Structure 1
Amino acid sequence: MPTVLGLEGSANKVGAGVVRDGVILSNRRATYVTPPGHGFAPGPTGRHHRGVLLGLVSDALADARLRPRDIDAVAFTRGPGMGAPLAVVAAGARTLAQEWGRPLLGVNHCVGHIEMGRLLGHARDPVVLYVSGGNTQVLAFSRRRYRILGETLDVAVGNCLDRLARLLQLSNDPSPGYNIEQLAKRGRRLLELPYGVKGLDVSFAGLLSRLQALAPKVLGGGEATPEDLCFSLQETAFAMLTEVSERALALTRAPHLLLVGGVACNRRLQEMLHTMCSARGAQLCPIDERYCVDNGAMIAQAGWEMLRAGQVTELAQSGITQRYRTDEVEVTWRD
């Protein structure tokens, strides 16, 4: 029964988790939180991760009631993501693997989300909607790769939510997207925003530009409220995502839709996708919000799949890749 330690740190969250044969034994995480109105820069984020990573590893092992000798491999996020945070976690993984005499497993961050979603959603071959701060993709598996059927042509949907939160000076604790979601529940007016769907691709740049133009007027006491802006952003962006997901289901005839990534925690997005899936006889896979947000356990799960397929990363090839596309990964563990 292989046991894998997974380390994640592609953005402002850093985590360590342990997985053994489809069972999550532990999952520890820490988040770098900046003041309202501010994003997170690579340098300070990397320093935060460096300060807490080994403590998270120790806690994850303790939660799993394991010692280093019980770990069969060390998996880490190779990319995509921010350079400094990725480099910190990769260096930590290389150090542990060499100290413990264990193989390294360099995991694509997006594939980590998908494999954790497949494990928890009990769907063998779903269409995947992956939505996060840095990525927005519609995917399906074919010929040993997760093929990108559609994606954002510019800004990721999670980045849109984060940017509006900064414009409105919302707190980054627990996350900008969560605070946008809470305000949206009180929104009453649907503002007209650009709707950019092009086949199976989406474009959020025009929508974001419109929000940037509206935000100062709203904060200055205009007719609309911050709640209306949040409500309008969610309704428009999530309708776009629902449309391209339905198109992908029709194209592939898949019976399941798997929703993964940090934005998957949003209840309104879940509701819209559930309504669409029900209308066309498909099923939205169950969503465990504990594992939607970036975490070490998802990297451990993808690493476990790689290990059983013999897809090990050599030390000389263990550098990070900031622009590491999902469809670059050969998925040797699936038929």
Structure 2
Amino acid sequence: MVVALGFEGSANKLGIGVVKDGEVLSNCRRTHITPPGEGFLPKETAKHHRDNILDLLKEALDVAKISPKEVDVICYTKGPGMGAPLVSVALVARTVAQLWDKPIVGVNHCIGHIEMGRLITKSDNPTVLYVSGGNTQVIAYSRKRYRIFGETIDIAVGNCLDRFARVLNLSNDPSPGYNIEQLAKKGKKYLPLPYVVKGMDVSFSGILSFIEERAPELLKNNEYTPEDLCFSLQETVFAMLVETTERAMAHCNSDEVLLVGGVGCNVRLQEMMGCMCSERGAKLCATDERFCIDNGAMIAHAGALLYQTAGPTPFNETTITQR
């Protein structure tokens, strides 16, 4: 059995979790929340992580009811993500590994999401839709590698939703995407938006520009409500994601879809993907916000798997990469 301690800090969520042989013992998190209408900047996010990380580390160990000497391996997010937050968390992980004399493993953030999703849902070999604030990819496992079948060619779907939340001046608590989801549930009138699927790839920046440009006038003239615009944006971008995921399933002859990443806990996206899966006789695997949103447990779990199969990361390679 491997007891792994995982550090996650690639964006505005700081997470530390403890996983023992696939069992989540603790999964603690702090979120950097900015004022309405504003995004989060690397410098301020890194400061938030530095200010909170030691308290969160103590909390994670207390909740898991373990001491440092019971930890077998330290795992941290190597990338992709925002440079300054990644560095601030990696620095603590490296220091802790040296102080406690433990091996260290650098984890790919995307694989952390996928492996956590597989663990929680018990899915075997799914076609994965990874959707978050920084990533949008359709992924499947083939010949001992995770392979990207399609992705966004510009901004991520979560980034598209977050930036539209700023246009409406929605709160960032708990997240702009969550607040868009709640408004969209009350939307009735659909605004036709550009639908941009290019083969297996999708594009969101044009849709965002289109709705950003027209929203002030449409709201001012009372043609559409904020709820209608949120509903229209969600329906359009999620339909694009369902289309590309279904095409990847057909290519891979897959009968499972796994939804991971922060946008993956959106109930409407789960409904739309569920409809497609039931029509194909396939199964939808999805988790809730505890494991969809960036967290330390996913880094601990993926790191433990890496440690068991490939061993620790050489200390001179425990750097970070934004890509």
Cα distance in 2, alignment partners of residues 218 and 184 from structure 1: 16
**206-215 or 32-41, which moves further after superposition?**
206-215
Q: Which residue matches 1:195?
A: 195
Establish whether residue 217 from structure 1 lines up as the match of residue 203 from structure 2: no
Cα distance in 2, alignment partners of residues 222 and 201 from structure 1: 35
Secondary structure of 2:192's aligned partner:
coil
Cα distance in 1, alignment partners of residues 263 and 243 from structure 2: 17
Conserved in 1, the CA contact under 8 Å of 2:270 and 2:286? no
Q: Which residue matches 1:102?
A: 102
Cα distance in 2, alignment partners of residues 103 and 219 from structure 1: 56
Establish whether residue 60 from structure 1 lines up as the match of residue 60 from structure 2: yes
Q: Which residue matches 1:43?
A: 43
Secondary structure of 1:106's aligned partner:
strand
Q: Which residue matches 1:206?
A: 206
- Report how far residue 211 of structure 1 moved: 1.2
Q: Deviations over 1:45-101 (max 9, x none)?
A: 000000001111110000010000000010000100001100011001000000000
Conserved in 2, the CA contact under 8 Å of 1:120 and 1:288? no
Aligned identity (percent) is 61
Amino acid at match of 1:220: K
Cα distance in 2, alignment partners of residues 218 and 78 from structure 1: 43
Q: Which residue matches 1:132?
A: 132
Amino acid at match of 1:200: M
Q: Which residue matches 2:312?
A: 312
Conserved in 2, the CA contact under 8 Å of 1:131 and 1:261? yes
Establish whether residue 282 from structure 1 lines up as the match of residue 289 from structure 2: no
Conserved in 2, the CA contact under 8 Å of 1:258 and 1:284? yes
Amino acid at match of 2:310: G
Cα distance in 2, alignment partners of residues 243 and 310 from structure 1: 36
Conserved in 2, the CA contact under 8 Å of 1:178 and 1:266? yes
**5+ unaligned residues in a row in structure 1: which ranges?**
324-335
Conserved in 2, the CA contact under 8 Å of 1:25 and 1:64? yes
**280-289 or 241-250, which moves further after superposition?**
280-289
Cα distance in 2, alignment partners of residues 11 and 289 from structure 1: 16
Cα distance in 2, alignment partners of residues 98 and 180 from structure 1: 43
Q: Which residue matches 1:4?
A: 4
Q: Which residue matches 1:18?
A: 18
Cα distance in 2, alignment partners of residues 134 and 67 from structure 1: 34
- Report how far residue 219 of structure 1 moved: 4.1
Secondary structure of 1:285's aligned partner:
strand
Conserved in 2, the CA contact under 8 Å of 1:80 and 1:108? yes
**5+ unaligned residues in a row in structure 2: which ranges?**
none
Give the 5 Å matches for 1:157-168. 157-168=157-168
Q: Alpha carbons of 1:69 and 1:104: their partners in 2 closer, same or farther (altered >3 Å)?
A: same
Conserved in 2, the CA contact under 8 Å of 1:265 and 1:289? yes
Conserved in 2, the CA contact under 8 Å of 1:218 and 1:226? no
Amino acid at match of 1:315: F
Q: Deviations over 1:246-301 (max 9, x none)?
A: 11111101111000000011000000000000000110014233100000000001
Cα distance in 1, alignment partners of residues 178 and 244 from structure 2: 23
- Report how far residue 144 of structure 1 moved: 1.9
Secondary structure of 2:310's aligned partner:
coil
Query: TM-score, length-normalised on structure 2?
Result: 0.99
Cα distance in 1, alignment partners of residues 7 and 220 from structure 2: 44
Cα distance in 1, alignment partners of residues 296 and 221 from structure 2: 43
Secondary structure of 2:187's aligned partner:
coil
Establish whether residue 248 from structure 1 lines up as the match of residue 248 from structure 2: yes
Q: Which residue matches 2:229?
A: 229
Q: Which residue matches 2:83?
A: 83
Conserved in 1, the CA contact under 8 Å of 2:152 and 2:203? yes
Amino acid at match of 1:301: H
Q: Which residue matches 2:296?
A: 296
Q: Which residue matches 2:172?
A: 172
Secondary structure of 1:284's aligned partner:
strand
Q: Once superposed, what is the RMSD of the aligned Cα atoms? A: 0.9
**18-27 or 285-294, which moves further after superposition?**
285-294
Cα distance in 1, alignment partners of residues 252 and 30 from structure 2: 38
Q: Which residue matches 2:153?
A: 153
Cα distance in 1, alignment partners of residues 222 and 49 from structure 2: 41
Conserved in 1, the CA contact under 8 Å of 2:46 and 2:85? yes
- Report how far residue 311 of structure 1 moved: 3.3
Q: Which residue matches 1:121?
A: 121
Cα distance in 2, alignment partners of residues 221 and 100 from structure 1: 63
Cα distance in 2, alignment partners of residues 144 and 88 from structure 1: 32
Query: TM-score, length-normalised on structure 1?
Result: 0.95
Q: Which residue matches 1:328?
A: none
Q: Which residue matches 2:71?
A: 71
